[in-house]
């Protein structure tokens, strides 16, 4: 009689060893699979924690060794005829030879391809079946492949260019924010499955009608095993069944039903609507016995990438269910150098932090990993839009036939795995590979549409991005737009501001422009930009194992900043804008304020441009997170400690955000002369889908005295445009007769202050911040902040487990601010705080 599928998760009972140590006592126990060899070596104190001090150097040898993992398979009871037993490997990192009882059953060279091996006839009766996986050195193998192909042009940014030859997470070779920790091992689950028949794939294809009032489509189950005769399909939301049906399995193993849902509950990104998810289940049976069920959660939504000619060039923005969405958000790198230890709880904290910060989109960067299922599940639940890069980053990738075949298998497997997620709204072919083509002068004739010619050029990877990958997306996930690369726009130079997306690195890198003009440097969609900042002092003290190294320019602190030229770049932006400090905590604060200011100037201006005929469709900061404790462009560090920039972004991305800005005057190219006058503008950005009525106030407050230098302006009953920008007022500052002062704006809706903005004379280093008269009162779940004189960048301590809803705030007289705080017990010490210029 046919039996249902059973699964043995092979998580425990493993051991590992260095393969060139043949002794039996070389085998050491493994705490848990999935794993990386570094985690197991750390557990056995064979290497020190590479995140501490200079220990990364002490772990380098690991990458040049081969490693073996083995386990005894559980006993499999005698099986009925027709039973299949399979070993399933969701991910092997990377050059893996799998043996069962000494016989090779699989050879793999791509960490992103899952494998299934039928071992029905290879298992011995009983419980003495030994599974062993040998992992060769990916670093050394990559070098061998590179040296065997001198005809290819091996160029790119970051790491050893031999990495381009290997289908493995590229950041394992080191990046300008991450260590060189080249891992190996069974990095994703290993299972032993027995079954008569199973659902191999469950696919839901649908279309919404033009008025979004009904959904029609097909549900397809792909079945393996001759015992499966029929498949029953059911879809429900909560406890309500919305459709059910069944179909016989045809000769190709396919069962398919059509469906129709009236008045479907539509899925929206957070802030624009709800995130209802339908559970679709397919159950294959003999007709009498259920053999296996598979489930997918889907959301009904119509997603569009709108690229239409306009006055400037061509738009680039996202529309969901007919609603234009400004995609303010972040770029995402792997959350750890050793991803098997990233828990579902940690993924949830990261993504909930994005939602709390009003960030709508996350871009999964192409030099990392195809993320875990839980990541996309959480994005579906929380309403975070996903920009998914294919796993190519900063290089000229080869394209010989077996490499292309491996890429195709990898991408079919992963796009198929992810196709049901409503959160995924774009696939992009690579990260910055077209920039590599430009910088190194590789051949790219966009008018040549013959793929065979591309393969013969010195930029053969074009074949991957403009033929192979779009074919995969069209086949596996046709409802999601495909974009050849990030950045890319119609085959034009990647710095083009009129079409496509762009990475704007002329603040920090490149020409090192003033961050005050960030908004003038953007394009139609700014998918990367950023500014470095030190992490909080507790993070630095965690990795800095030598207390004598706790100063800003120390060797150990420099070692935990992998960016080229970071010393001169940080110094440039600090010297230009702030009175420099050498005390470590004061220096940290300055770098964090520099980052917060830079990102604020960018997001604030680009969001305004959204309301100006969708000139800017979105902005994604590089980067949300870190993979280890480091100074980088992240706005939240490895331990989930938020930098001030997180809060600055939150304020300018709020549902309704007031903004005030005086015209930029570049002090450093005019001998520090102050202009006789400066124009200013005040506007309101809103993502609300309906017009709202508001009151807006603008005050002019002396930096030195805290007194208002002239009468404030109040505009009542202003109509704030829906999903756009409303210009409120403008004026001129008399820099000759008026003392230096801030422009302090507030906006009320229904009697409640919903947003503030303070514009300061630039640069801040010219201003005195003595005797600000700041008072901070901790009152249980709130903190009251007030000041006698304008105060810049008041930040609170980032204490583990304690959450504040705002920080890095500007405080002006007559405007007390109430900060909400969670998880601070009555007997806990109040949060420490500081501000710019505090002595």
Query: What tokens does 308 get?
Result: 């239409």
Start-to-end C-alpha separation, the chain: 81
Query: Cα-Cα-Cα-Cα dihedral of 674, 700, 743, 698, to 10°?
Result: -150
Burial of 669 (0-12, 13-18, 19+ CB in 10 A): exposed
Region of 396 on the Ramachandran plot (φ > 0 left; ψ -120 to 50 alpha; else beta): beta
Contact by Cβ (8 Å): 161, 105 = no
CA-closest candidate to residue 34, choices 190, 255, 217, 240: 190
Beta strand 833-834 with 791-796 is antiparallel
Q: Which two tokens stand for residue 102?
A: 């000494």
**656 vs 362, 647, 690, 753, CA distance in Å?**
21, 15, 12, 10
Dist CA 714 CA 837 (whole Å):
31
296 φ/ψ angles, rounded to the nearest 5 degrees: -130, 145
What sign does the CA torsion over 43, 47, 50, 54 have?
A: positive
Residue 321 DSSP label: T
Q: Which of 386, 471, 487, 404 is nearest to 439 (CA)?
A: 487
Query: Helix/strand/coil (H, E, C) string of 63-103?
Result: HHCCEEEEEECCCCCCCCCCCEEEEEECCCECCEEEEECCE
- Listing DSSP states for 195-211 in one string gives ES-EEEEEEEEEEE-TT
Copy the structure tokens of residue 463: 């074949």
Which residues are within 8 A (CB) of 653 and not within 5 positions of it... i.e. 6 or more apart? Answer: 328, 357, 358, 359, 603, 607
| Dihedral in degrees, nearest 10, Cα atoms 544, 549, 550, 556 | -50
In eight-state DSSP terms, residue 124 is P
Asked if 585 is an active-site residue, the reply is no
Chain centre to alpha carbon of residue 745:
32
Q: Rounded to whole angstroms, how far apart are CA atoms 481 and 617?
A: 15
Instruction: Give the largest Cα separation in the chain, rounded.
Output: 96
DSSP string, 738-759: S-SEEEEEEEEETTEEEEEEEE
Prior bond of 61 cis (ω within 30°):
no
Residues 432, 466, 476, 576: which is the catalytic one?
432
Instruction: Tell me which residues are annotated as active site.
Output: 432
């Amino acid at each position: 009689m046919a039996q249902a599928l059973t699964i043995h998760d092979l998580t425990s009972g493993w051991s590992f060893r260095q393969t060139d140590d043949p002794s039996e006592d070389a085998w050491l126990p493994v705490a848990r699979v999935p794993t990386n060899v570094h985690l197991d070596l750390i557990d056995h104190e064979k290497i020190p924690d590479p995140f501490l001090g200079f220990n990364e150097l002490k772990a380098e040898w690991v990458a040049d060794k081969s490693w073996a993992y083995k386990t005894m398979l559980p006993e499999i009871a005698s099986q009925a005829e027709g039973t299949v037993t399979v070993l399933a490997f969701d991910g092997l990192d990377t050059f893996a030879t799998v043996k069962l009882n000494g016989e090779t059953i699989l050879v793999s060279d791509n960490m992103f391809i899952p494998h299934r091996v039928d071992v029905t006839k290879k298992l011995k009766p009983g419980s003495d079946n030994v599974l062993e996986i040998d992992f060769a050195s990916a670093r050394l193998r990559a070098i061998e492949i590179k040296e065997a192909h001198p005809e290819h042009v091996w160029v790119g940014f970051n790491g050893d260019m031999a990495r381009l030859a290997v289908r493995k997470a590229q950041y394992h070779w080191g990046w300008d924010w991450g260590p060189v920790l080249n891992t190996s091992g069974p990095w994703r689950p290993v299972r032993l499955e027995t079954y008569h028949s199973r659902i191999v794939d469950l696919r839901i294809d649908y279309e919404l009608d033009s008025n979004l009032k009904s959904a029609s489509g097909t549900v397809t189950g792909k079945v393996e095993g001759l015992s499966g005769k029929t498949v029953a399909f059911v879809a429900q939301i909560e406890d309500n069944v919305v459709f059910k049906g069944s179909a016989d399995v045809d000769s190709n193993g396919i069962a398919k039903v059509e469906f129709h849902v009236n008045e479907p509950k539509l899925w929206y990104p957070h802030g624009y609507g709800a995130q209802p998810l339908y559970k679709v289940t397919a159950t294959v049976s003999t007709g009498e016995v259920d053999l296996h069920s598979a489930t997918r959660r889907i959301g009904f939504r119509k997603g569009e990438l709108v690229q239409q000619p306009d006055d400037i060039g061509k738009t680039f923005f996202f529309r969901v269910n007919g609603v234009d969405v400004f995609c303010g958000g972040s770029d995402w790198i792997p959350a750890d150098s050793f991803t098997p230890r990233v828990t579902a709880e940690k993924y949830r904290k990261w993504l909930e932090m994005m939602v709390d910060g009003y960030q709508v989109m996350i871009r999964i960067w192409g030099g990392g990993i195809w993320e875990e299922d839980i990541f996309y599940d959480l994005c579906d639940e929380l309403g975070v839009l996903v920009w998914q890069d294919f796993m190519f980053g900063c290089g000229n990738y080869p394209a010989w036939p077996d490499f292309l075949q491996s890429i195709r298998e990898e991408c079919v497997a992963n796009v198929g795995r992810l196709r049901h997620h409503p959160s995924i709204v774009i696939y992009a072919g690579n990260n910055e590979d077209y920039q590599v083509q430009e910088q190194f002068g590789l051949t790219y004739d966009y008018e040549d549409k013959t793929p065979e010619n591309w393969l013969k050029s010195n930029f053969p990877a074009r074949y991957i991005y403009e033929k192979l990958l779009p074919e995969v997306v069209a086949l596996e996930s046709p409802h999601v737009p495909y974009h050849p690369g990030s950045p890319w726009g119609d085959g034009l130079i990647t710095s083009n501001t009129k079409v496509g997306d762009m990475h704007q690195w002329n603040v920090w890198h490149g020409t090192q422009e003033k961050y005050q003009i960030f908004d003038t440097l953007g394009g139609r969609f700014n998918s990367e930009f950023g500014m470095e900042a030190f992490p909080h002092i507790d993070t630095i003290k965690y990795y800095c194992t030598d207390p004598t190294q706790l100063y800003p320019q120390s060797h150990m602190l420099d070692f935990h900043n992998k960016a080229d030229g970071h010393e001169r770049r940080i110094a440039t932006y600090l010297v230009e804008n702030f009175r420099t400090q050498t005390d470590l905590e004061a220096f940290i604060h300055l770098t964090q304020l520099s980052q917060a200011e830079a990102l604020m100037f960018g997001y604030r201006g680009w969001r305004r441009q959204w309301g100006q005929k969708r000139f800017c469709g979105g902005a994604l900061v590089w980067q949300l997170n870190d993979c280890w404790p480091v100074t980088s462009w992240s706005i939240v560090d490895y331990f989930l400690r938020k930098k001030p920039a997180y809060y600055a972004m939150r304020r300018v991305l709020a549902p309704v955000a007031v903004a005030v800005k005086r015209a930029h005057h570049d002090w450093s190219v005019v001998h520090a002369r102050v202009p006789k006058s400066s124009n200013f503008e005040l506007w309101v950005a809103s993502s609300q889908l309906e017009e709202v009525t508001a009151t807006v106030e603008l005050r002019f407050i002396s930096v030195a005295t805290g007194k208002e230098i002239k009468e404030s302006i109040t505009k009542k009953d202003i109509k704030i445009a829906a999903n756009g920008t409303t210009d409120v007022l403008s004026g001129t500052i008399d820099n000759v007769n008026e003392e230096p002062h801030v422009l302090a704006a507030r906006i009320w809706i229904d009697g409640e202050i919903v947003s503030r903005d303070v514009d300061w004379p630039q640069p801040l280093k010219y201003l005195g911040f003595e005797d600000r008269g700041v008072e901070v009162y901790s009152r249980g779940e709130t903190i009251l902040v007030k000041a006698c004189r304008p105060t810049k960048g008041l930040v609170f301590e980032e204490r583990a487990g304690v959450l504040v809803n705002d920080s890095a705030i500007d405080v002006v007289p007559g405007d007390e601010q109430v900060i909400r705080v969670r998880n601070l017990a009555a007997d806990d010490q109040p949060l420490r705080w500081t501000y710019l210029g505090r002595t």
